[in-house]
Amino acid sequence: MHAPSLRTVSLLAFCALIVCATADEAAKPNVVVVLADQWRPQAFGFAGDPNVRTPNFDRLAGESVRFVNAVAGMPVCSPTRASLLTGQRPLTHGVFLNDVPLDSNAITLAKVLKGAGYETGAIGKWHIDGHGRLSFIPPERRQGFDYWKVCECTHDYTDSIYYGDTPEKLHWSGYDALDQTQDACEFLRARATGAKPFLLWLAWGPPHDPYLTAPEKYRALYDPSKLTLRPNVPAEMEGHIRKSLAGYYAHCSALDDAMGSLLDTLRETGLAENTILLFSADHGDMLGSQGAMNKQRPFDECARVPFLLRWSKALPARQLDAPINSEDVMPTLLGLCGVPIPKLVEGLDYSGYARGGANPGDGATVIMCAAPFGQWDRRKGGKEYRAVRTTRYTYARDLHGPWLLFDNENDPYQMHNLVNDPAQADLQARLDTLLQRKLRERGDEFRPATDYIAKWGYEVDANGTVPIKP
């Protein structure tokens, strides 16, 4: 019997390396991120909302690690999306306003996972390109995603456009979130027996307003006169809010059906067991609470977000109270995938905590507005603020000093502002010290909006809003 030649040994060794690499890729979990736009964390059956019908999300919540104090660190669209993808805070990546671009050289979740052997795909709303809401986004600005059916931003859910690999403007055939989800299901089916793991980013536009544009079968589910409103909605807004809320819930139920299709596809293809599924939102919606609408504020209806993390192979279902933030999502997903976390990432890796280990945080995180704009510009009471959200309290300062203090355990609707209450002086002092320490650790000098806008060279109108490009 002849000894193998050096060439044969080298070839066998090379083949062994390929087999090992392929096996390692196959062992890595797939990742599916589903992001809704403006879905407040209270608006689910599993969260106790007496009005909304979300049976598929309720089922998913029962199978997931549910972070009940998850927040959007800057509760508005583009800043949150940039933080989710980069693991950095808005004053670091620079997207602290809507309609400004994330640096095309940013280190993102998709780029890192692609480097680790993952296929990548994005479907739906993007809103971090900053070159026009209905403009084509070329491959070099797609932040590591290859499969691409995306629109920068539209809220015309029944005549919704998207682009693929060419500048040809394409249209979803009906209510866009349902069509986008069906496309996501096809993406999953096509990769069910593939050798490589994948990252799929599915971003829906609803339930963001306009509230009254869900398909009729979902709008028929909700009678405005029969809805139970949150007690922090002023009486004078009741009629308007009932109508808006009915439409909002209709969007939520449509998305619940979409999630049901996605869950069914994961199960039918055999992908469910080794797929990490994260459902969250870029921020909530005030919807009349505190007499306000939409986002940017530090109140719980706006700043808290739903956060369901399911990986049936490795994560036991339960509730966790750590206040996880937007910048923590990228490192946590990388940690679950066993992929090294880039040094430029600022967020915390909660993967060990999700598995049952120690909490890497200190039980508190920061919510902020660096530059109020748009629906909350200065004419409408918008202001710069920094807030600390703990498992129990919310404390905020604006540029003039202490602004808000809520005991969220005893005052879940945040109707009693305890700032400068002599009986709460010690508590306020402790929370103020905590907030100031966190700002020092982040290098955040808490300066006026004009300073940050000038630093990044953004062009804004008189009210601090970036003009929307066609």
List, in order, residues 6 or more apart from 219 with CB less than 8 Å away.
Answer: 212, 246, 247, 250
Cα 414 to Cα 301: distance, rounded to the nearest angstrom: 10
153 classed as catalytic: no
What is the per-residue DSSP string for 320-348?
A: E-----GGGHHHHHHHHHT-PPPTT--S-
**Helix (H) / strand (E) containing 147:** strand 147-151
Helices 329-337 and 77-86 cross at an angle (nearest 10°) of 30
| φ, ψ for residue 436, nearest 5 deg | -60, -40
What is the per-residue DSSP string for 244-263?
A: HHHHHHHHHHHHHHHHHHHH
77 classed as catalytic: yes
Helices and strands per DSSP (H, E), number in the chain: 13, 14
**Cβ–Cβ < 8 Å for 73, 367:** yes
CA dihedral 212, 215, 220, 221 (to 10 degrees): -90
User: 53: how many CB neighbours lie within 10 A of its CB?
Assistant: 18
Cα 461 to Cα 99: distance, rounded to the nearest angstrom: 13
* Given 20, 93, 127, 251, the catalytic residue: 127
* Cis upstream peptide for 138 (omega within 30°): no
List 395's β-bridge partners, or say none.
388, 405
Residue type at position 327: E
* Given 2, 15, 77, 240, the catalytic residue: 77
**Cβ–Cβ < 8 Å for 311, 66:** no
Catalytic residues: 77, 127
